[in-house]
């Protein structure tokens, strides 16, 4: 609901700068100056994350490709692009997110409309910063402003909920140096009564898990990875699940914490088969057909208290996703990440084939707030869950915390309860819960609208 202040506000200037993400690699920050009705000028900023395990259909970042600087990963060109993009939105009302993003997207002249020329990282930085400015102009928390935008996107009021934190506490895949093919293993405290309790029992279990891993594998295996999870010297997903269950039981939270996993199967899909030994020096590895992978997932879901599987097959393997969803989708959320890349056209394909029952939402996969809301609303209209996510290369920007609440996503992943760039999101959610008294999604994380 716009105020007189909002209708008289305008963006005054936009500039970009190169900053570093949590891996010490460059990313970009947009700085937006704006005026309200009193002509008082304020400044907001937004930083963009970057993924390592990326989908082929993701919008494209702009990198400098100068081998003599940050090994070619510099973002000076993207920072410069922010300045160019800014000229398109100067004078616009920061509360009008849809118009702002439309103006930004008009500058995307790439043949595939993947933002490769102007940089998805540059577009998103401006889009997020303007969204933050819009909330300040309206005098409301960012999550409430996003909630207004979400209601406009779907054409009806959207109930805000506190999301279930899905804590990535064991790492494998391309995120770790062990032999584990599956990329992420989650603690999912859906049985808690509040977000605050969920984060507490998740953090308690994480600390117990550290002790369990140290007892069984030694101190060296308790070092943490990019997302704060441990990477013990294990090779099978079942061993990862066993460690989680041991920690949950020792912490005393067996009735409140469930399990989930992101195999990120595109990373070990080779020559038509799924090679669970792809990181091993052993010739041949442990290769499985798609049908055999379905059987493996069914067994894991039967043997452990699983509630979520993300990207269990290759990013183009819609048929295998559909086969698994038809078998376990009534009780397990099957989430498409690389499969969809927060892209409406790919979600439409997933809906037609009944490939999954949920989509992972990563704002930098698509590159603007409005396009992210479009993908969310498409899923919501079709009864799919939406799982908001960070990236492995993160920043201290907590935008996705407010996003997850504003769209009533029901669940969020931002890594383990460790490392400040991860905790920035979880701590912001603690503030939101305290200040606004929003209910916790809990066991309804898949259908948060169904309270």
Which residues are annotated as part of the binding site? 175, 184, 262, 310, 337, 389-392, 413
Q: What's the rounded Cα separation, in Å, for the pair 75 and 126? A: 15
Pairing label, strands 385-389, 10-20:
unpaired
**Choosing from 80, 362, 371, 394, which is the catalytic residue?**
362
Q: What's the rounded Cα separation, in Å, for the pair 327 and 329? A: 6
Pairing label, strands 358-361, 385-389:
parallel
- Token representation of residue 264: 């990120």
**Choosing from 61, 77, 204, 227, which is the catalytic residue?**
227
Catalytic (active site) residue 227? yes
CA distances from residue 324 to 236, 253, 296, 312, 340 in whole angstroms, order as listed: 20, 29, 10, 9, 17
Contact between residue 371 and residue 342 where contact means Cβ atoms under 8 Å apart: yes
- Token representation of residue 240: 């990862």
| Partners of 185 in beta bridges | 170, 261
Packed helices 399-406 and 142-154: angle between N→C axes, nearest 10 degrees: 50
Exposed, middle or buried by CB within 10 Å (0-12, 13-18, 19+), for 220?
exposed
Annotated binding site for Mg(2+): 262, 310, 337
Annotated binding site for substrate: 175, 184, 310, 337, 389-392, 413
Where helices occur in 76-187 by DSSP H, the ranges are 76-89, 97-105, 120-138, 142-154
Exposed, middle or buried by CB within 10 Å (0-12, 13-18, 19+), for 444?
middle
Sign of CA dihedral 233, 235, 237, 243: negative
Q: What's the rounded Cα separation, in Å, for the pair 125 and 122? A: 5
Closest CA to 170 of 252, 248, 225, 238: 225
Closest CA to 386 of 310, 316, 330: 310
Closest CA to 181 of 131, 102, 240: 240
Q: What's the rounded Cα separation, in Å, for the pair 201 and 271? A: 42
Sign of CA dihedral 333, 338, 343, 348: negative
| Partners of 412 in beta bridges | 165, 388
Q: Which residues are catalytic?
A: 227, 362
């Amino acid at each position: 609901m716009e105020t007189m202040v909002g209708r008289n506000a305008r963006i005054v200037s936009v500039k970009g700068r190169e900053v570093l993400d949590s891996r010490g690699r460059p990313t970009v920050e947009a700085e937006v100056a704006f005026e309200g009705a009193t002509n008082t000028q304020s400044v907001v900023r937004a930083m963009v994350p970057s993924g390592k395990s990326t989908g082929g259909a993701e919008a494209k970042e702009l990198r400098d490709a100068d081998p003599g600087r940050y090994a070619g990963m510099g973002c000076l060109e993207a920072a410069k692009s922010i300045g160019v993009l800014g000229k398109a939105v100067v004078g616009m009302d920061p509360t009008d997110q849809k118009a702002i993003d439309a103006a930004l997207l008009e500058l995307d002249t790439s043949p595939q409309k993947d933002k490769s020329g102007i940089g998805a990282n540059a577009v998103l930085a401006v889009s997020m910063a303007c969204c933050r400015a819009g909330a300040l102009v309206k005098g409301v928390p960012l999550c409430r402003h996003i909630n207004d935008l979400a209601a406009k996107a779907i054409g009806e009021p959207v109930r805000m909920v506190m999301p279930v934190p899905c804590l990535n506490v064991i790492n494998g895949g391309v995120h770790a140096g062990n032999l584990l093919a599956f990329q992420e293993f989650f603690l999912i405290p859906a049985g808690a009564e509040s977000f605050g309790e969920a984060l507490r029992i998740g953090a308690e279990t994480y600390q117990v898990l550290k002790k369990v891993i140290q007892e069984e594998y030694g101190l060296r295996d308790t070092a943490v990875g990019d997302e704060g999870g441990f990477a013990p010297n294990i090779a099978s997903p079942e061993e990862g699940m066993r460690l989680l269950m041991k920690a949950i039981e020792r912490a005393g939270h067996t009735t409140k914490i469930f399990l989930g996993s992101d195999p990120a199967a595109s990373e070990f899909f080779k020559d038509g088969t799924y090679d669970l030994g792809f990181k091993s020096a052993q010739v041949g590895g442990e290769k499985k057909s798609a049908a055999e992978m379905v059987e493996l997932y069914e067994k894991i879901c039967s043997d452990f208290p699983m509630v979520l599987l993300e990207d269990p097959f290759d990013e183009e393997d819609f048929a295998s996703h559909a086969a698994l969803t038809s078998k376990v989708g009534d009780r397990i959320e099957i989430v498409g990440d690389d499969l969809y890349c927060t892209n409406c056209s790919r979600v439409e394909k997933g809906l037609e084939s009944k490939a999954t029952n949920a989509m992972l939402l990563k704002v930098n996969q698509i590159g603007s707030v409005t396009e992210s809301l479009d993908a969310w609303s498409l899923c919501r209209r079709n009864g799919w869950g939406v799982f908001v996510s960070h990236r492995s290369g993160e920043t201290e920007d907590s935008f996705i915390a407010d996003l997850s609440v504003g769209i009533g996503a029901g669940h969020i992943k931002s890594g383990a309860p460790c490392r400040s760039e991860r905790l920035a999101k979880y701590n912001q959610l603690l503030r939101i819960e305290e200040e606004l008294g929003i209910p916790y999604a809990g066991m309804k994380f898949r259908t948060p609208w169904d309270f």
